[in-house]
């Protein structure tokens, strides 16, 4: 590496393109040699990850690298649970399990390149052109040009000079007022966030939308699902490219990848699936964002709200048959908290049955002859006792 510094990233620059630009600046043949040289120069301990080396070179955190230079903020827009201090449990973004579009193709917009050229700016690879399943530029609404990932070694204008690339197909309706327009708008908005949203808030908003459309969010039932609504209203040619399984499912059949976000608030679903569901249920990006923000303020308003929510979930797990240690580990609450909650619930049931007749203490008696009959008093129907209440009373 000829120089010990890294150039500052451009606004919305994609990490893959930034690494290619740094390789060109330091005469490195590939990103691996760039990271190795940067790690040696900064005396980083052992082999370090790409984001750790870039973070050290730019004097920012590895998480800031992922938030500012990758599409992960859009792909992992919501986290399944929260910490007790009210902040999202998953403040961190992780690459594991995420299929980055930039790993298989380099995308750019001809109109964006023309604007760069017109204003004398250096062209670069942008994150907004690599949103999942968005085959058009959300700014100019023109089809994106696709190149091999090796193109990241060059500027987009140079890659275009070497070959025209592949022009992607456009769906029939993708303007801002359409479902696909709202879908792209949501992903572009989430791309600029520096935090991870609450899955509980997301589920709340989606259920409101399902209610307004008279849809169900349970696995069984007679009403249609949000996946049925998506299959009817989203352009078929786009679904055939990105959601082909949706076109072959039976109406009313539960489709977990799209129906799940309305049901499972403890599961982190891909941002693309969440955006598609929300874009289908509501009429504008601004309305969706307002609903999400209002729900976030309700579900992440205080440490007590977060703690009580996790404790309630652990208690329900226990009631449904989970062991105490399993419920505590799953919901991240202490065993002492859950045991106290169980005791409190038992006391509440006991107070609710204080007026009920109680059984007399058991006394040891001499055995009765086999021929003797035993009289068992019946409970009067007017007492109104349920079997569970009677058991607790005894």
C-alpha distances in Å from residue 11, one per residue of 69, 192, 368: 9, 11, 91
Mean pLDDT score of the chain: 82
Q: Which one is predicted more confidently, 35 or 327?
A: 35
Q: For the ranges 76-80, 214-218, 370-374, which has the lowest average pLDDT?
A: 370-374
257: pLDDT strictly greater than 80: yes
Residues 6+ apart with CB under 8 A from 250: none
Q: What is the mean pLDDT of residues 315-329?
A: 79
201: pLDDT strictly greater than 60: yes
Strand partners, 146: 107, 166
Task: Classify residue 13 by its DSSP letter.
Answer: B
Q: What global pTM score does this model have?
A: 0.73
Q: What is the mean pLDDT of residues 36-46?
A: 85
The token duo for 264 is: 């499972």
Which segment, 21-25, 40-44, 236-240, 307-311, is predicted with the most confidence on average?
236-240
pLDDT digits (tens, 9 = 90+) for 95-112: 656 677 888 899 999 999
Q: How many other CB atoms sit within 10 Å of the CB of residue 238?
A: 20
Euclidean distance between CA atoms 97 and 86, whole angstroms: 26
312: pLDDT strictly greater than 90: no
Q: What is the mean pLDDT of residues 300-310?
A: 50
The token duo for 81 is: 């649970």
Q: Which one is predicted more confidently, 137 or 314?
A: 137
pLDDT of residue 378: 44
């Amino acid at each position: 590496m000829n120089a010990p510094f890294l150039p500052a990233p451009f606004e919305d620059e994609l990490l893959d393109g930034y690494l290619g630009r740094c390789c060109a600046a330091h005469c490195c043949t590939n990103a691996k040699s760039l990271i190795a040289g940067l790690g040696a120069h900064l005396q980083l301990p052992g082999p370090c990850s790409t984001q750790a080396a870039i973070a050290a070179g730019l004097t920012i955190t590895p998480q800031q690298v992922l938030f500012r230079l990758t599409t992960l903020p859009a792909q992992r827009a919501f986290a399944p649970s929260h910490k007790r201090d009210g902040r999202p449990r998953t403040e961190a973004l992780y690459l594991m399990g995420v299929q980055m579009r930039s790993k298989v193709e380099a995308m750019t917009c001809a109109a964006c390149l023309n604007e760069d050229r017109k204003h004398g700016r250096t062209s670069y690879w942008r994150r907004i052109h690599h949103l999942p399943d968005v085959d058009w530029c959300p700014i100019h609404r023109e089809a994106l040009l696709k190149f091999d990932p090796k193109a990241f070694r060059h500027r987009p204008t140079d890659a275009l000079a070497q070959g025209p690339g592949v022009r992607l197909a456009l769906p029939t309706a993708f303007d801002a007022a359409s479902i696909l327009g709202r879908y792209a708008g949501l992903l572009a908005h989430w791309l600029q966030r520096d935090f991870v949203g609450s899955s509980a808030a997301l589920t709340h908003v989606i259920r409101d939308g399902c209610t307004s459309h008279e849809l169900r969010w349970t696995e069984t039932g007679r009403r249609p699902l949000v996946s049925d609504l998506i299959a009817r209203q989203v352009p078929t040619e786009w679904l055939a490219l990105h959601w082909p399984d949706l076109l072959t499912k039976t109406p009313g059949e539960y489709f977990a990848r799209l129906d799940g976000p309305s049901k499972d608030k403890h599961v982190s679903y891909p941002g693309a699936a969440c955006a598609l569901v929300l874009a289908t249920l509501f009429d504008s990006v601004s309305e969706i964002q307002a609903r999400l923000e209002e729900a976030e303020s309700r579900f992440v308003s205080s440490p007590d709200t977060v703690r009580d929510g996790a404790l309630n979930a652990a208690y329900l797990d226990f009631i449904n048959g989970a062991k105490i240690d399993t419920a505590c580990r799953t919901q991240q609450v202490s065993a002492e908290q859950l045991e106290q909650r169980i005791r409190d619930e038992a006391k509440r049931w006991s107070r609710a049955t204080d007026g009920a007749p109680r059984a007399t203490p058991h006394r040891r008696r001499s055995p009765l002859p086999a021929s003797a009959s035993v009289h068992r008093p019946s409970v009067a129907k007017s007492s109104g006792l349920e079997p569970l209440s009677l058991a607790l009373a005894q």
